[in-house]
Structure 1
Amino acid sequence: MSIQQGGGGGGEKAERSGFFIGADSDNVSEEDGEDHRQLILQRANALASENRLREAIDWFSVAMRYGPVIPEHLSTFVDCVVRNFSSKLDRCRSSTAAATDDMFDCPNCRDFLGEPVTIACGHSYCKRCLQRRLLSKCKLCGEPVTGQERQVDVILCGLLEKWFPGELRKSKTLLEVDELCRGKRYQEAVSLATDVIRADPETTAVARLSRAEAYMALKQYRLALEDTEFCPGSRCSAEAVFRKAMVLHEMGQVDESLQVFLHCLSVDEDFPCAKRQVEKILCDLLSPADETVKVGLRETTQNTSPHVRSKTLVADAQAEPQSPVQRQHQVRATSAHLFVDNQEKRWESLERPGLSRAHSLRVHGSMCSEEGLKRVCSAPQLGDQEKASLLKRKLSVSDTEPCVVNSGSSKPKKQGMTKGSRQQAAKAKTCRSVPEDLLDPNDMECSLCMRLFYEPVTTPCGHTFCKNCLERCLDHMPQCPLCKESLREYLACRKYMVTKVLERLIKQYLGQEYAERTKNHLEETRELSDLTKNVPIFVCTMAYPTVPCPLHVFEPRYRLMIRRCMETGTRQFGMCINDPQKGFVDYGCMLTIRSVHFLPDGRSVVDTIGGKRFRVLSRGMKDGYSTADIEHLEDTRVEDGEELQRLQELHDAVYEQARVWFQNLKIRFHNQILQHFGPMPEREADIQATPNGPACCWWLLAVLPIDPRYQLSVLSMTSLRERLVKIQHILTYLMSIPNS
């Protein structure tokens, strides 16, 4: 089918994704309709990604004719809207996002880090911000903040309670306010928040925002708006703007609330709650299910943008007669286009000379009485036009009493910047310091090693340990060493990130103790890096130079050993077979770790390849695994020309004999060898190029079905001739056995 697209597309034909969009979807099957809808949504999101907002609106509108569109489908579109309009508020964002250097402040709300919770990336936030889900990404490193529940950081909370007891008590009281709101005990929440504000009127931004939420639930919108307007340019301005938008939305001022939600995202583009609200409002705007919002927003934007309105009326007058379906689609698309045009005009005015930023962000109706504020949709007996008119009147009730949205600029508003607010702003710039008489190094000791924390890591249950100490405990059991809570998911992620606040505290206030702790750690690491002294030994199987040796590591002692090899950077350890008397034999091969794949339960699959051979000089133990002092083995070089020629001929003969044997193997054995050891190495031009001789000898030694003790005797040889002769004897014997 090829039918012209209805709605605000300028009369252009819509041919996308290999088919035409029709105005009548009744004749399309349900399955085809779903396929069409998905393709149309893909196209709409692609257009939104290219900043082609008006075209994207057309496609979202058309998609709704083939099935429902949920708010999440508009995520890309909302990102584009915010990206375009937030560029006009760069000054706002830079002023509100300027981070304080106080390590005891929450990176999100800039208030005291009361009840600190350390998230997966190692940064700590106040419990209130995480409970309210006020951030989707870490403000300091950009890592996503997952929904995994984390407990209060026990060590940090104890330190803050000791150093700043008054501020921590206030933070706990604010959490009680939030708990009362969640329990719908709003009057009690207002009372408790008011007590906090009266006790400390200079630092009450967070308390007022919590009280504003309670006022909104009690439908006391005037008081709620006053609380959100209390401190312009406050350290939690994004939340303040969001709370203001929620109040306006609850009052029925959907259009104005949308403007403020977008303002919130311009201040903090990762504010998840604001983005969800914008998606929902825009979805309602485009959806035929809510004509109230649709028509009301259309008239509101027309009133605000008379030039756009006149163009629309002319276009409507000149348009040809349309079917009800086409007309409905055009109304939705045109309303959305008007929204975009209106947004562009509002935000462009921010850069016009002589026009104040605050005036361009005017919000209607914020000072009107609660009694007259009811949603238009609560009057179902009204027709669409009557609802739109009612909404239009309610949106313009407070034109004479404007309330300005905080723009975030550094210039204060006359009505909001009180003496207390100025004192608060000055106080916010002063960093807290730890009282010297309360500073005790014992408060920052690991409970496992009883030493000062080195690379402190906090678990989801809130307990902190040295990184190495925690990893060693998790080698034995996937539980917290203190509270025994399961850490299986934490172990599976293997993201043991250092707790940044605690590490900074130790470096700043315990510099001498930290330097000594670091020195000890480096000495221990240096000792582990020596590849001839106290070399870690994996007692397991035979290993050979140049031959791959995959390992399944599950014992706690070898988990620790492999981890240390990775941390020191050597990525090497020795491999020997067992000896009943000595523990392990006198000869072995060094293995180099190529990769480690950790399994969710802590086990790992380690891909290694053989390196140098060695002889054991002495044996030892370290943390449960064997160690040894060793010396490396090298083949004795042949310098005489005739002798070297004979050695080359012997090598070529053995190589050809091995090739024939391998080709004549049964297909099952042939494939198994290829799978585990790879193909036979190519013939080498210089058989003395490496200290271990030709690689084919070691490959053959690994695949030939002979006793490990015999293999060990060949591994210990330093004469290439003797090694070739041994292998030749083995091949001759195997080839003499029928069906071998």
Structure 2
Amino acid sequence: MSVKPQEEDALEERSAFFIGADSDISEEEDHHELILQKANALASENCLREAIDWFSAAMRYSPVRPEQLSTFVDCILHNFKRKATGPDALSGRSLDAEESSREDALDCPNCHCFLGEPVTVACGHSYCKRCLHRRLLSKCKLCSEHVRGEEKVNVILCGLLSKWFPEEVKKSKKITEVDALCRRKRFREAVELATDTTAVARLSRAEAYVGLKQYRQALEDTEFCPQSSCSAEVGHSLILQEFVMDESLQVFLHCLAVDEDFPCAKRQVEKILCDLLSPGGENVKVGLRETTQNALPHLRSKTLVADAQAQLQSLERPGLSRAHSLRSHSSNSGEEGLKRVWSAPQLGDQDKGSLLKRKLSVSDVESRVVDSGSSKHKKQGESVFYFPEDLLDPSDLECSLCMRLFYEPVTTPCGHTFCKNCLERCLDHMPQCPLCKESLKEYLACRKFKVTIVLDMLIKQYLCQEYGDRAKTHQEETRELSDLTKNVPVFVCTMAYPTVPCPLHVFEPRYRLMIRRCMDTGTQQFGMCISDPQKGFADYGCMLIIRSVHFLPDGRSVVDTIGGKRFRVLSRGMKDGYSTADIEHLEDNGEELARLQELHDAVYEQARDWFQNLKIRFHNQILQHFGPMPEREADIQATPNGPACCWWLLAVLPIDPRYQLSVLSMTSLRERLVKIQHILTYLQSIPNN
């Protein structure tokens, strides 16, 4: 079938049209992306006004997602905090916050109000229940560790606060009732119940006012509260989408000024800024193809930032319009395209870009933000807490497992507190809370048994004498466990030999405890013996040195050990379910080196021939479990245990454990070499099937 020349021309024109359209779209996308990159570059350099121009320009040509304004929000927040508080206040805030956390131990680190219903998170710090259950923080304010927010109230700490500060706890519970009414949308009842004048009570009432759409009353309640203690709560409680835009923007900026990591407030600021910069309702996506052709080479040049900043500086001169300034600084080829870019912030009738600049200027920032949140004194409407030392009873701080004063108190997600060692011992037997039987499988898998900071501080500060006695007892117990000749822990399992690796799978609760104690005391050693029907375990064994411990999620562990010194058992005992022994270490006797060396070399060659002639299956199994045969040693009497090849052979030779034990107990290298030689001779005499 032939095609007429006219038809061919039409097809070519149509193809060129579609190709040109695709090319235009691609160039437009590149242009839009470059404008956004330029805007983010200016924002990262803290050029607020210039960044506003470029973000506005980007929005005229294509929609911008709120999350793409994250760098812009950081720039605005930096200027907001600098203008509101000054550099001195910002530089000293972290130090003051640390001092405040030490002095106000019973305050919530997030809202700085009385803990009320304290909840201890995984890192060991405690927050009020309201802050955690309302998701007002994603990570700990004191250590930046991730916060799940699903933990329950700390039972011990809650009981202590109820005893020491009954009125404050009563107020906290009342606020909890107000919050519950708000969740059930019974806002009028919540307003009537929230009669207290504290900051937290006013915030709860402000939320109820928002539910009733009484925004002015809500704002009055939040303005009463000190910004340092409730800005994060304001960001959560007052999502004022129906309220005046610039007022809600300032509310969220106040929130971020204290807590830059508060996610809800930052998302709201991004949305508000996106609305302010967007050209609402007008058809502004014009001339992209022309703009791309003219302006794209300029935007791609290496001098983009410097040229743009020079142009922007000229734009800010009094008496010069954006269009006039553009014509005086742009080339003829790019004049029309750049004119559209630079005139972009003039959005409709209200010029939203200029409006945003005015909102973020110094004159609009209210002076009430000057408080940095680190004052050592309570703000207006809050109580000053004096610790009631006369009500402090040591029995209130006793572990329910060991019935002694807490030592390294650890609080589980279910809210119960135990000594760290006591809790670990219980979890060795069952991954459940010893009191409420709630599952602690996830808690055990993480193995983050962090000390509860508040309880530990109270014990050390107000029960100094009792804590000193408790610490002394703990140190004595640890010192007793550190002796490698008295009451040495014994793992009754298999044969172990000096220098030979011995990997172990530990699953029994008694041996979990034993391994943990070996690690805690720092010795990282224990004895290994085979069982004995009459005595419990054999008279001879080998010390194992722990090289690493890998804990499994269910509490089991894989322990990598290697053989150390040999020992003889002097006496036997038991401790917390596992065997112990008083021991003495064994060493080889000195012997005539010349004949001993000759015997050693002969046995070594015989052993190497036997190993090389093994079937490939057995050969590979030995390599996998025990590694290759050790190299010949220059000095066979250099160590108390003799050459390593003897112990490697003793481990891999297929002989009865009792016979292996008799060789292990020998203190004569000659006798040991002769025994191994006899075994090799016997094995080599058997036909290799």
Structure 1: segments with no counterpart, 5+ residues: 1-21, 198-203, 296-301, 350-358, 363-403, 413-421
Structure-2 change in CA distance of 1:119 and 1:309 (3 Å): farther
Q: Supply the AA of the counterpart residue of 1:446.
A: C
Q: Tell me which residue corresponds to 1:686.
A: 635
Cα distance, 1:344 vs structure 2? 8.5
Does the CA-based 8 Å contact 2:411-2:417 persist in structure 1? yes
Q: Tell me which residue corresponds to 2:298.
A: none
* Partner SS, residue 229 of structure 1: helix
Cα distance, 1:486 vs structure 2? 0.6
Q: Supply the AA of the counterpart residue of 1:141.
A: C
* Partner SS, residue 418 of structure 2: strand
Residues in 1 aligned to 2:540 and 2:105: alpha-carbon distance in whole angstroms: 55
Cα distance, 1:727 vs structure 2? 1.8
Residues in 1 aligned to 2:237 and 2:124: alpha-carbon distance in whole angstroms: 32
Structure 2: segments with no counterpart, 5+ residues: 1-19, 286-311
Residues in 2 aligned to 1:41 and 1:645: alpha-carbon distance in whole angstroms: 86
**Paired residue for 2:203, among 205, 209, 227?**
209
* Partner SS, residue 631 of structure 2: coil
Q: Supply the AA of the counterpart residue of 1:425.
A: K
Structure-2 change in CA distance of 1:675 and 1:314 (3 Å): farther
| Residues matched between the structures, number | 624
Residues in 2 aligned to 1:329 and 1:731: alpha-carbon distance in whole angstroms: 92
Cα distance, 1:63 vs structure 2? 11
User: After the TM superposition, which residues 274-423 of structure 1 pair with which residues of structure 2 at under 5 Å, given as runs?
Assistant: 274-281=265-272, 312-314=322-324, 331=344, 349=362, 359-362=363-366, 406-408=369-371
Structure-2 change in CA distance of 1:306 and 1:213 (3 Å): farther
Residues in 1 aligned to 2:34 and 2:625: alpha-carbon distance in whole angstroms: 50
Q: Tell me which residue corresponds to 1:698.
A: 647
**Paired residue for 1:494, among 447, 462, 481?**
447
Q: Tell me which residue corresponds to 1:222.
A: 216
Residues in 1 aligned to 2:587 and 2:44: alpha-carbon distance in whole angstroms: 64
Structure-2 change in CA distance of 1:56 and 1:231 (3 Å): closer
Q: Tell me which residue corresponds to 2:670.
A: 721
1:666-685: CA deviation from partner (whole Å, max 9, x where unpaired): 33322222222222222221
Q: Tell me which residue corresponds to 1:467.
A: 420
Does the CA-based 8 Å contact 1:677-1:699 persist in structure 2? yes
**Paired residue for 2:136, among 109, 120, 134?**
134
Does the CA-based 8 Å contact 2:506-2:512 persist in structure 1? yes
Residues in 2 aligned to 1:680 and 1:625: alpha-carbon distance in whole angstroms: 34
1:330-358: CA deviation from partner (whole Å, max 9, x where unpaired): 959999xx999998998784xxxxxxxxx
- Whether 1:239 aligns to 2:237 is no
Higher Cα radius of gyration: 2
Does the CA-based 8 Å contact 1:565-1:572 persist in structure 2? yes
Percent identity of paired positions between Structure 1 and Structure 2: 70
Residues in 1 aligned to 2:645 and 2:57: alpha-carbon distance in whole angstroms: 67
Cα distance, 1:619 vs structure 2? 0.7
Cα distance, 1:410 vs structure 2? 9.2
TM (norm. structure 2) is 0.79
Residues in 2 aligned to 1:644 and 1:53: alpha-carbon distance in whole angstroms: 83
Cα distance, 1:630 vs structure 2? 0.6
Cα root mean square deviation, aligned: 4.2
* Partner SS, residue 369 of structure 2: coil
Structure-2 change in CA distance of 1:287 and 1:546 (3 Å): farther
Q: Tell me which residue corresponds to 1:454.
A: 407
Residues in 2 aligned to 1:51 and 1:700: alpha-carbon distance in whole angstroms: 69
Cα distance, 1:508 vs structure 2? 2.1
* Partner SS, residue 100 of structure 2: coil
1:173-209: CA deviation from partner (whole Å, max 9, x where unpaired): 111222222222222222211x223xxxxxx111112
- Whether 1:272 aligns to 2:266 is no
Q: Tell me which residue corresponds to 2:172.
A: 171
Residues in 1 aligned to 2:53 and 2:631: alpha-carbon distance in whole angstroms: 64
**Paired residue for 1:432, among 386, 399, 405?**
386
Does the CA-based 8 Å contact 1:40-1:63 persist in structure 2? no
* Partner SS, residue 433 of structure 1: coil
Q: Tell me which residue corresponds to 1:161.
A: 162
**Paired residue for 1:590, among 511, 532, 543?**
543
Residues in 1 aligned to 2:637 and 2:614: alpha-carbon distance in whole angstroms: 29
Q: Tell me which residue corresponds to 2:309.
A: none
Structure-2 change in CA distance of 1:46 and 1:224 (3 Å): closer
- Whether 1:144 aligns to 2:146 is yes
**Paired residue for 2:124, among 114, 122, 125?**
122
Q: Tell me which residue corresponds to 1:653.
A: 602
Residues in 1 aligned to 2:42 and 2:554: alpha-carbon distance in whole angstroms: 43
Does the CA-based 8 Å contact 1:286-1:333 persist in structure 2? no
Residues in 2 aligned to 1:48 and 1:552: alpha-carbon distance in whole angstroms: 58
User: After the TM superposition, which residues 475-494 of structure 1 pair with which residues of structure 2 at under 5 Å, given as runs?
Assistant: 475-494=428-447
Structure-2 change in CA distance of 1:665 and 1:409 (3 Å): closer
Q: Tell me which residue corresponds to 1:733.
A: 682
Q: Supply the AA of the counterpart residue of 2:191.
A: V
1:657-708: CA deviation from partner (whole Å, max 9, x where unpaired): 2223323333332222222222222222111111111112111211222221
Does the CA-based 8 Å contact 1:44-1:57 persist in structure 2? no
1:497-518: CA deviation from partner (whole Å, max 9, x where unpaired): 1111111112222222222111
